[in-house]
């Protein structure tokens, strides 16, 4: 999205109240988009519900002179009825939809023996099924607008790591991106995926010093990424400048996958 050409476009960003999703929503807002901030109302570090009014996360995202408008919609992407209601709200408020950013995700730390069946299912529900539910209900509107889908995957979708459910789900998102691109190309709806490496967010607080050291070794650049770095990539893939790009997987990883030989 470049400049005023995209003012008044409507963008749904899931998992947008914190972390990478927040960075993505801010960048779209700065470009003049109407941003639907879809998230469960929980503090990312404490697991508690926000005590403030439901519009507060959105107020913060579109404040300080950003030209876009914003609407917060409490959404559990693992629940198809919640997703359907979220999309309907976006259409009711803004009378259309131009971009869907499937960012919402959770990461269960563990291996095949320590991860419970319930943890596996919840992770798949949010990280993979959620992206499908959002696409299912958004695609009819994106066909009308010749819009875009930007999925947020992970380097773990290519090389594993991060726990069995997370790696499996992100690998699924990568391949679902290609499949949706094949389905929607004739409608001029583009579908692409951004695959972050180590991005500095509060959720990284679960990492040990050893984890951070390994990530430092894996990242070729002398710094980690920021949520805005991922936001820049998402904005580009949704822009006119990317009009001939679909079915692509863009690594925003500081060279992580290059280091892995992938």
Contacts of 151 (CB under 8 A, 6+ apart): 101, 102, 131, 173, 176, 177, 191, 192, 193, 194
For residue 133, indicate whether it is catalytic. Answer: no
Query: Catalytic residues, which ones?
Result: 166
């Amino acid at each position: 999205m470049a400049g005023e050409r995209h003012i008044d476009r409507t963008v749904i960003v899931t998992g947008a109240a914190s972390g990478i999703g927040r960075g993505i929503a801010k960048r779209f807002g700065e470009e003049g988009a109407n941003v639907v901030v879809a998230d469960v109302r929980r503090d990312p570090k404490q697991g508690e519900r926000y005590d403030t009014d439901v519009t507060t996360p959105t107020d913060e995202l579109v404040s300080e002179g950003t030209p876009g408008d914003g609407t917060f919609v409490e959404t559990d992407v693992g629940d198809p009825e919640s997703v359907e209601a979220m999309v309907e709200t976006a259409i009711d408020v803004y009378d259309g939809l131009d971009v869907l950013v499937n960012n919402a995700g959770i990461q269960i730390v563990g291996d095949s023996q320590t991860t419970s069946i319930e943890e596996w299912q919840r992770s798949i529900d949010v990280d993979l099924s959620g992206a499908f539910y959002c696409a299912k209900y958004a695609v009819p509107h994106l066909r009308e607008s010749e819009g875009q889908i930007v999925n947020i995957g992970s380097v773990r979708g290519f090389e594993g790591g991060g726990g069995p459910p997370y790696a499996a789900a992100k690998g699924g998102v990568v391949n679902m991106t290609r499949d949706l691109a094949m389905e929607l190309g004739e409608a001029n709806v583009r579908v692409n995926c951004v695959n972050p490496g180590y991005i500095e967010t509060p959720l990284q607080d679960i990492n040990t010093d050893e984890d951070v050291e390994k990530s430092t070794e894996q990242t070729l650049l002398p710094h980690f990424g920021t949520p805005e770095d991922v936001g820049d990539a998402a904005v580009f893939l949704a822009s006119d400048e990317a009009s001939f790009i679909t079915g692509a997987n863009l690594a925003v990883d500081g060279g992580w996958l290059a280091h892995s030989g992938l």
